[in-house]
């Protein structure tokens, strides 16, 4: 039952192949699996489809995999902070599947719950609904969205134990718990690794049954994506 590995490279060993789909937790630069992203870059895996709320920034987060041309397609809801993303998309080097943010979250959650598709009002009558089935419920039109699954999910938690039970910190929870359930394999990195029984059973956000390997990361950069300050008078 001990799922702890010594490094991100070891955690990924045996799970990577060209053309795979990877879910990566995080929102902007908050709650991203920094060490696993670096290990993905160093592995050289290519032509991957990445399901992530966004693609980080040019020199940090998932943006590092854009620099090395390892990403073939992004399934995202926001990409506005990454100039290299924009360049690759406009030049036709990168495929993009845009989703409303709530729809993306529900597609991932549905994948983890074994629900193949669902209907939602968001996007009806827009480009989002083009080519998709629509249906009326109670006089309202809804568009059908399909669930998302991945070959591998990489997530970041504040705390975890050797069985893979995870706790996330505040907004760093974001997409991480649902992605942990929607991957055929889930690897978690944590800031603090504790012994069995040290986590309050009522405060576990992701049960260890969903996690295949876990590692303790160190020296997290935790970069702020965009800092907004107010000038002081006087």
Q: What is the pLDDT of residues 137-188, one digit of tens each?
A: 999 999 999 999 999 999 999 999 999 999 999 999 999 999 999 999 999 9
Average confidence (pLDDT) over 64-73: 96
Whether 127 maps to a domain, the answer reads no
Cα–Cα distance for residue pair 40/38, rounded to 1 Å: 5
Whether 83 maps to a domain, the answer reads yes
CA distances from 212 to 9, 23, 109, 124, 198 (A): 14, 15, 18, 38, 20
Whether 186 maps to a domain, the answer reads yes
Average pLDDT, the chain: 94
pLDDT of the residue at 22: 98
Residue 159 pairs in a beta bridge with: 167, 192
Higher pLDDT, 16 or 222: 16
Whether 233 maps to a domain, the answer reads no
pLDDT of the residue at 234: 59
Whether 112 maps to a domain, the answer reads yes
Q: What token pair was written down for 108?
A: 């991932």
Whether 50 maps to a domain, the answer reads yes
Question: How many domains is the chain built from?
Answer: 1
Residue 15 pLDDT grade (very low, low, confident, very high; cuts 50, 70, 90):
very high
Whether 85 maps to a domain, the answer reads yes
Contact between 92 and 69 (Cβ < 8 Å)? no
Identify the domain containing residue 45 by its residue range: 8-118+149-216
Q: What is the pLDDT of residues 152-164, one digit of tens each?
A: 999 999 999 999 9
pLDDT of the residue at 226: 73
Answer whether residue 231 shows pLDDT above 90.
no
Answer whether residue 93 shows pLDDT above 90.
yes
Answer whether residue 101 shows pLDDT above 70.
yes
Return the CATH number at 20: 3.40.1080.10
Contact between 105 and 175 (Cβ < 8 Å)? yes
Answer whether residue 25 shows pLDDT above 90.
yes
Residue 68 pLDDT grade (very low, low, confident, very high; cuts 50, 70, 90):
very high
Q: Give percent of the chain with pLDDT exceeding 90.
A: 86
């Amino acid at each position: 039952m001990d799922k702890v590995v010594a490094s991100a490279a070891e955690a990924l060993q045996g799970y990577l192949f060209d053309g795979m789909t990877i879910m990566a937790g995080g929102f902007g630069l908050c709650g991203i699996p920094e060490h696993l992203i670096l290990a993905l870059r160093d592995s050289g895996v290519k032509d991957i489809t990445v399901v992530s709320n966004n693609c980080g920034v040019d020199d940090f987060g998932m943006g590092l995999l854009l620099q090395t041309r390892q990403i073939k397609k992004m399934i995202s809801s926001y990409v506005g902070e990454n100039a290299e993303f924009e360049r690759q998309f406009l030049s036709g080097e990168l495929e993009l599947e845009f989703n409303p943010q709530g729809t993306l979250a529900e597609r991932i959650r549905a994948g983890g719950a074994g629900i193949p598709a669902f209907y939602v009002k968001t996007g009806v009558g827009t480009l989002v609904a083009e080519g998709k089935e629509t249906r009326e419920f109670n006089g309202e039109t809804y568009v059908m969205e399909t669930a998302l699954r991945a070959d591998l999910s990489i997530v970041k938690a504040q705390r975890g134990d050797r069985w893979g039970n995870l706790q996330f910190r505040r907004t760093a929870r974001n997409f991480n718990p649902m992605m942990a359930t929607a991957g055929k394999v889930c690897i978690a990195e944590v800031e603090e690794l504790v012994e069995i029984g040290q986590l309050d059973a009522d405060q576990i956000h992701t049960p260890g049954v969903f996690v295949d390997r876990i590692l303790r990361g160190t020296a997290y950069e935790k970069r702020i994506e965009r800092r907004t300050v107010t000038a002081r008078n006087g």
